[in-house]
Each structure stands twice: as C-alpha cells, then as structure tokens.
Amino acid sequence: MGGRPVKNVLSVTSECVPLVKTGGLADVAGALPGALAPFDVRMRTLIPGYPAVIAALEGAQGVAEFASCFGGPARVLEGRAGGLDLLVLDAPHLFDRGAGIYLTADGIDWPDNPERFAALSWVACEIANGALEGWVPDVVHAHDWQGGLAPYYIARSPAKGRVRTVITVHNIAFQGLVPADRMAALRLNAGDFHSDGLEYYGQVSALKAGLVHADKLTTVSPTYARELMTDAFGMGLQGVLRARAADFVGILNGIDETVWSPADDPHLAKPFKAPRGKAANKAALRDEFGLAEAPGPLAVVVSRLTEQKGLDLLLAALPGFLERGGQLALLGSGDPGLEAAFQQAANDPNVGVKLGYDEPLSHRMMAGGDAILVPSRFEPCGLTQLYGLRYGTLPVVALTGGLADTVIPATPATMARQVATGLQFHPVTADALRDALAGLCDLYAQPKLWSKMQRNAMAHPVGWDQSAAAYAALYNRLTGPE
C-alpha cells in the first residue's frame, strides 16, 4: 500500500481461534493477522504447543531450539494452521497435557502455569533477539498476563528500543500472580521486585510487568480503558494505568464477518439478508428449546454463567419479562448455583435452558432471537452484542465497557434520528434491567419501530476494518515514520 514498508509483528498469545479457545482473547488473536494484512502488517502468532495445536500444524519445521526452557528442552516450530502463520512453542514438559489449557481435570490451575507462560514470553524475547534466522519482529504484541513477561524480558535484553512492545489487556481480572520466591525460577531480576516494577501486594504480577515495561498499552474498548483507570474497575492496577495514561488506548474488538454472516451461515435453518428473514429461524429456535409461540420478544443469552456477566440480575428481572409475554432461551455454563437456578427457571414453559457450549447452536440463537441480553457488571469489550447486531437481534446491555461503545441506546433523541440499535441500562441492578426489559417489550409491540432498529443493527459496523487500522497506526507510530 503506497510503498510503505511491511511491519513484522509477533503476536504472543495463549489461545487462538480456530485452534484453541476459552474466551474472547482467542477470537481477537485469530482475527487480527488477517485483518492487519491490508495494512502491510505481517503478523506471526507465537502460541504454546498444546496437543490440538501440534495436531493442526501444517508444514511444520523446526526453526529454533532451546536446551533449557523452564524445566526441559523446547523448540519453535514454524507452520500454518487455520489460515495463520504460526510459531509454536513445542515444549512437551509444559504443554503436552490433557484437560484444559489452564486448568487440570479437577478444575484448578496447573501449578506450573507461571513457568508455562513465562516460557512463552521468554521465547518471544529470544525471537526478538534473533533466535529465528532471517526474521526479527519490529513489534512484539503480547496479550494478557500470559504474555505479560514478554515486554519485561525484552526491556532487559539487547532488543530493548530496537524491538518495540505492546500489551493488550483483555480482562484485568486475571493478573498472573506468583509468589515472590519464584522470581529466580521465572528468570526475573530480584532488583525489579518493588512497587514501580513487578511487585503487586507482596507477589509478582505478570500482567503488571507488561504494563510497566511495554512501550504502548491497549485494551479492547475506549470505555473500558477509562474504567480501568478508576478504583472501581482497576483491580489494584489503576495507579499503574493512570501513570501510563499517555501510552494507553482503547481499541474496540471486531468480529469475523465471514464466520458471523446471516446471509450464508451454514448453521441456520434459513440464512437471511433482511430482518424479515429471521421469522423462520425464530420458529426453528423455539422448536429447539421447546417453546410455544408467545406475544412478546424471544430473548437469548449465550454466556458464561457468572456474577460478572450479571446473570443473577436476570434471574431477578425475569418474572416481570415473562409476565409481559417474553420468552428466554439460554445457552451457557459456569457457576453451579446459577446453573441450578436457571434450570429451575426452565420449569416455566416460556424459558428454555441448555447447559454447556455449542457453537452451531449459538449461531442459531443469534439468528432466531429477537434480543440478546448482556447484563454484565463489567465487560471489557464483549462479542455477543456484536453478533446480535450482525443478525438483527437487538442487544439489551449494561452501560459499561465495550457494551457502552457498541450499542446505540433507544432514547428519545436516537429514536427521533432513527439510529438506535438496542437498549442500555444503568445502574447495573436488577431493577434497572427489569425496566430495560419492559422497554424492550414496549418496542417489540411497535412493529415499524422494531423493524427499523433491526435494520439499523444489521447495518452497524462490527468488523475489524476500523480496529485493524487503529492497530496498524499504533505499530507505525512505534516503529517510526512511514
């Protein structure tokens, strides 16, 4: 593009769609390389060699070896999978395991998680210092605490200043805390254990290490960036972020519009281009959840069942919504108490619940629902409301984080201008959600207004174009003039 030099970027992530996923981080890591390609950014992804990743790797070649990598030998494999250029850290002693990528079969953290992801960060630093023949990144882009030590290691290496670093906070609730007595095992300098360095309330925080040492900091929405600098949302790191405010920016996530495309989604009963095409999918979804026809809107939830997601608020607000003729179809898993409570709620014939996660079903829910409910107490960006917009399924969201940045609420002003795409509520309480659901029922009873909001939602930009341009501009600022 215009002769601009290609920026080589190394993305350091613990998960990546379509290879391995536990949350939104994987979606972002999987989408960014392709989204950045039109901006002359070549991104390669460094990811642990979990069994699923090794099995998917095509054309694998060993390109670097390490005799001692946090408890055993390791190598870097170069190859492709899922359309991505991958660098895979093949360290069987760290990653060749069953169960989850972070948790044992008993649902607890692998005890050596600090070493596992320190190894990932340390290898990123080695790559920045020339471990791969013929390829050195201009920028190392680390994600969350699992990549948080990469900016630290690079800042303590010869690559400092030559290879620039970025860290993205996807969810500040997870900080990679480690007892201070493991510093030597993690190849950390004892002299860096202080309040302006690695120390976090007597422990080491891998995320803080990245926030202190990276050249630029990002998070996944402008509102979440502002929230993280407050005592209410910063989870103990708000002071660090306020000190780095000049280097901290919020860039919204996007979604893969080829995967989430109502016009040619293979999972749907009937793909559609216009809101009126949702009717067949709504009928099919009701059948799938055992719901009869009802006079009110069919609301859907696709979520982890946790207090962060505000699903306890939905339980409290649900009776009033059902009294207005509304229905609920929920797909999710998480807190056993919430799982049991929603199963109990499903005794009502207008509530359908499926526990677990089912990707094809999530597509059918987006296509068949009238509204998607996202009542999160905090939400860095959120993706489900973006899926809802794409499918004309109007989001009902809390006024927080990326939910505030992506949904145009139905207010007198936005309705007069005919631009509303959903509903927002604040404060994040059961009463406020109850009022929002009542407003949803009122709008649903006005077919012309409802149809206009659906068309607005489906036309709202939810892809990666704008966000990829923002990341490319950030890399360009870091690496000098074009």
Write out pLDDT tens, residues 44-67. Answer: 999 999 999 999 999 999 999 999
Phi and psi at residue 328, to the nearest 5°: -130, 130
pLDDT of 2 higher than 70:
no
| Predicted confidence band of residue 357 (pLDDT cuts 50, 70, 90) | confident
2-6, 8-12, 55-59, 173-177: least confident range? 2-6
Q: What percent of the chain has pLDDT over 90?
A: 95
Q: Tell me, what's the pLDDT at 480?
A: 81
Q: Tell me, what's the pLDDT at 4?
A: 54
* Domain 7-254+465-479 and domain 275-459 have a common topology: yes
Give domain 275-459's CATH number out of 3.30.160.270, 3.40.50.2000, 3.30.70.260, 3.40.50.2300.
Answer: 3.40.50.2000
pLDDT of 467 higher than 90:
yes
Q: Tell me, what's the pLDDT at 283?
A: 97
Q: Tell me, what's the pLDDT at 11?
A: 98
Nearest to 21 by CA among 11, 9, 29, 10: 29
Write out pLDDT tens, residues 372-395. Answer: 999 999 999 999 999 999 999 999
Which amino acids are annotated as binding site, given as ranges? 21
5 versus 258: the higher-pLDDT residue is: 258
pLDDT of 116 higher than 90:
yes
Q: Tell me, what's the pLDDT at 38?
A: 95
| Beta-strand relationship, 203-205 and 177-179 | antiparallel
Q: What percent of the chain has pLDDT over 70?
A: 99
Secondary structure of the chain as H, E, C letters: CCCCCCEEEEEECCCECCCECCCHHHHHHHHHHHHHHHHCEEEEEEEECCHHHHHHCEEEEEEEEECCCCCCCEEEEEEEECCEEEEEEECHHHHCCCCCCCECCCCCECCCHHHHHHHHHHHHHHHHCCCCCCCCCCEEEEECHHHCHHHHHHHCCCCECCEEEEEEECCCCCCCEEEHHHCCCCCCCHHHCCCCCCEECCEEEHHHHHHHHCCEEEECCHHHHHHHCCCCCCCCCHHHHHHCHHHEEECCCCCCCCCCCCCCCCCCCCCCCCHHHHHHHHHHHHHHHCCCCCCCCEEEEEEEECCCCCHHHHHHHHHHHHHCCCEEEEEEEECHHHHHHHHHHCCCCCEEEEECCCHHHHHHHHHHCCEEEECCCCCCCCCHHHHHHHCCCEEEEECCHHHHHHCCECCHHHHHHCCCCEEEECCCCHHHHHHHHHHHHHHHCCHHHHHHHHHHHHHCCCCCHHHHHHHHHHHHHHHCCC
Residue 279: Cβ within 10 Å count: 12
pLDDT of 240 higher than 70:
yes
Which sequence spans correspond to the domains of the chain?
Answer: 7-254+465-479, 275-459
Which amino acids are annotated as binding site for ADP-alpha-D-glucose, given as ranges? 21
| Predicted confidence band of residue 482 (pLDDT cuts 50, 70, 90) | very low
**Which residue is associated with the tokens 């939905």?**
314
Write out pLDDT tens, residues 203-230. Answer: 999 999 999 999 999 999 999 999 999 9
Q: Tell me, what's the pLDDT at 329?
A: 98
| Cross-sheet strand order for the sheet of 84-90 | 58-66, 74-81, 84-90, 41-48, 7-12, 139-143, 164-169, 216-219, 248-250
- How far is it, in rounded angstroms, from Cα 223 to Cα 172? 14
Q: Tell me, what's the pLDDT at 1?
A: 39
- How far is it, in rounded angstroms, from Cα 308 to Cα 336? 14
Q: Half-sphere exposure of residue 450, counting CA atoms within 13 Å on the CB side? A: 17
* pLDDT, mean of residues 128-132: 98
- How far is it, in rounded angstroms, from Cα 338 to Cα 315? 9
Write out pLDDT tens, residues 151-183. Answer: 999 999 999 999 999 999 999 999 999 999 999
* CATH number of the structural domain 7-254+465-479: 3.40.50.2000
pLDDT of 106 higher than 60:
yes
Write out pLDDT tens, residues 413-434. Answer: 999 999 999 999 999 999 999 9
